[in-house]
Chains A and B, each alone.
Chain A
Amino acid sequence: MSGVPILELADITVRYGAVQALSDVSLAVDDGAFVGLIGPNGAGKTSLFNVISGFTKPYSGVTSFNGTRIPRAPHRRARLGLVRTFQNVGLNRSATVDENLRAALTTGRFQVEFADLFGGSSDLERRILGFEETHQLFELGKYRDVKVSDLSTGVAKMVELACAVLRQPRLLLLDEPSSGLSPDETDRLGVVLRQLHAESDMSILMIEHDMPLIMRSAEYMVCLDFGTVIARGTPAEVRNNKVVIDAYLGEG
């Protein structure tokens, strides 16, 4: 692994009219790292994700990926390997699970889409996980032909994660993957995330409210409040940080 961070944000400021959602946020994700992003609601976590994935143009600041500045168009960032999930499940809800997985495999660059048009395989072997392996890892076998709109939130979130993994992320951005999940499903999610992180070289940046999940999974944590970074460090350091306890965790 090189010393260059996979993602580096320098002095990101985001304004919506008079509201300043993010003020001079700087953050780096090392190549291969698992970073957790915590903070109270409205702290600017999702705004930061929208800056990283190119949906929001920051008022000021620089986003670099793998040591270089990157174009802002979301699809171009995605093609670099910046893959994200959404809080409210970014899937085609009227399509089945397999149709969604297949869309994840066959869309993106025009070459990939057209390779599929003529019946060829679109470099499936280069992928971290194959189609069937993904099915097994995420235990989606029995939902193949079920429409996403008929799935429980927990399963739908797993499908979204599976779609994200099929897209060969260099950096996986997870926006509250455990919201709407049962305790069992959250445990399972933790196992899958740790396995993915351990056995591939993808980096992960995860927004999460479930403290046990993030404490067990992340190697490094960042806490946001009112659009600024109020603490950063190892999970233990952040958990015992006085400022974080006051702003977010509470005495407990």
Chain B
Amino acid sequence: MSITPPVTEEVDHEASVAAMPTSWWRPLIKPLILSAMLLWWAANMFGEDHAATAVDAAAVICTVCGLHLLIQWSGQVSLGHMAIVGIGGFATANLAVEQELPLPLALLLGGFCAMLATVAIGLPALRIRGFALAITTLAAATAVSAYLFRQDWLAGGSLGILVSNSNFFGFDSQEPTSFVVPALVVALIVMFITMKIGHSGVGNALRMVANDDEVAGSYGINVGTHKLAAFLFSGFVAGIGGGLMVLDLGRATPEMFPASESIVFVAAVLMGGAGSIRGPVIAAIALVAVPEFLDIGHYEELVGALGLLLAVRFVPEGINGQHEHMVERVASVKAKLRGASS
């Protein structure tokens, strides 16, 4: 059962995508060193304000990674992701207060609760796509905010839920200069997992599903399972993001999760552009940091909406597209220099 191909041209084995890395840990060295440096810097150099901003950014990065997988890779959409973030936040708070679970466990299980909640959105997504799906997710999010977040059993009444426990693996979750380290670790883990999924067969399959249902089916890809799995993953990490926000503030209230702020997540994904998670992560950091540095407080929505409008008009390919252009330009300059020197 082997075919001898005509030997026509020599094969560039280095360029082969199928070539397997010699050891699995080698590609991890650089990111690990960079992460350690980032964490050391975050732990020692951040003042109170900047640490709080960094924790916010960590929460938004978690959410945006999942939404990027959902929108850019699997070709679906969710316009009401703040509702999922909120469910994750309230679930984490309830688990920490009512069940008195250790905070890291409450955070993890809060993510699972948010994941289960996305099934409600994910199941209709198996039948509809595009505009109809977008509106359905928006409606679901509005309903969750208007009804679920007003229920005492989930949202704890008018004062919300206060989380008095603040011991997160020995870090103080309500002290931003301390909590910034575990929050960034969580964000880095989410980024790493999302990146691995994107490079794997699962990511390839999601992109096939986004491209064409029938072609994906003929590849042996179970289209429904993959669409649902994309929703579940994005729900899980969004719930983790919500949990981080709740642990950071030490309380959970409906006002922390306004449905309208979902625009910030969508803006980060669209400004990031198709492809790797580099773009949306940069966009997420920018969307959190810019309002803080400009000292305009809680105008994330405005900055997000403006950023979205400007991005669609001037950089439709997003940050990823700009990065590609820059890499190409640097490569061409390098080639020119090499040509001039020889």
Check A133 for interface membership: any CB of B closer than 8 A: yes
Q: Main SS of the interface on chain B?
A: loop
Number of interface residues of A (CB under 8 A): 59
Stretch at the interface among A87-95, A176-184, A228-236, A240-248: A87-95
Determine if A107 and B223 form an interchain contact, defined as CB atoms under 8 angstroms apart.
Answer: no
Instruction: How many A-B residue pairs have C-beta atoms within 8 angstroms? Tell me.
Output: 145
What chain B residues lie within 8 Å of A121 (beta carbons)? 20
The interface stretch among A5-13, A23-31, A122-130, A209-217 is: A122-130
Q: Give Cα A128 to B202, complex, Å.
A: 23
Q: Chain B, 1-38, contact with A by CB distance < 8 Å: what is the 0/1 string?
A: 11111111101110111101100100000000000000
Among residues 79 to 131 in chain A, which have CB atoms less than 8 Å away from a CB atom of chain B? 79, 83-84, 86, 90-95, 98-99, 101-110, 112-119, 121-122, 124, 128-131
A69 lies within 8 A of chain B by Cβ: no
With contact pairs A74-B217, A136-B6 given, residues A141 and B11 touching in the complex (Cβ less than 8 Å): yes
User: What is the CA–CA distance of A103 and B203 in the complex, to the nearest angstrom?
Assistant: 9
Q: Please name all residues of chain B whose beta carbon is closer than 8 Å to the beta carbon of A74 when the two chains form the complex.
A: 214, 217-218
* Chain A residues numbered 163-187 whose CB sits less than 8 Å from any CB in chain B: 167
Give the B interface residue count (CB, 8 A): 42
Q: Does any Cβ of B come within 8 Å of A139's Cβ?
A: yes
Question: Does B99 touch A at the CB level, under 8 Å?
Answer: no
In angstroms, how far is the closest chain B Cβ from the Cβ of A143? Answer: 12
Contact partner, A91, options B11, B13, B215, B223, Cβ 8 Å: B215
Assembly CA distance A134 to B16 (angstroms): 12
B31 CB → nearest A CB, Å: 15
Q: Which residue of B lies closest to A142 (CB)?
A: B9
A144 touches B218 (CB 8 A): no
Verify B218–A53 contact, CB threshold 8 A: yes
Verify if B205 is at the interface (C-beta below 8 Å from A). yes
CB < 8 Å: which of A92, A113, A167, A201 contacts B1? A201
Contact pick for A108, options B5, B220, B223, CB 8 Å:
B220
A169 to B212, CA, bound (A): 20
Whether B167 sits at the interface, judged by CB under 8 Å, is no
Of A59-67, A192-200, A218-226, the one contacting chain B is A192-200
Minimum Cβ distance to chain A for residue B217 (Å)? 3
Quick check: B220 and A106 within 8 Å, CB to CB? no
**Does A135 interact with chain B (Cβ within 8 Å)?**
yes
Question: In the assembled complex, which residues on chain A have CB atoms less than 8 Å from the CB atom of B4?
Answer: 199
B151 at the interface (CB under 8 A from A): no
Q: Which of B8, B13, B17, B196 contacts A136 (CB 8 A)?
A: B8
Q: Which residues of B contact A53 (CB under 8 A)?
A: 217-218
- Write out the residue numbers on chain B whose beta carbons fall within 8 Å of the beta carbon of A84: 218
List chain A positions with a Cβ less than 8 A from chain B: 53-55, 73-75, 78-79, 83-84, 86, 90-95, 98-99, 101-110, 112-119, 121-122, 124, 128-137, 139, 141, 144, 167, 195-196, 199-201
A sample of 25 inter-chain contacts (CB < 8 A) reads A53-B218, A74-B214, A75-B222, A78-B218, A78-B220, A86-B215, A91-B215, A94-B274, A95-B211, A103-B204, A103-B205, A107-B204, A107-B216, A110-B225, A113-B201, A113-B202, A113-B204, A114-B201, A117-B200, A117-B202, A128-B1, A131-B16, A133-B3, A137-B6, A167-B220
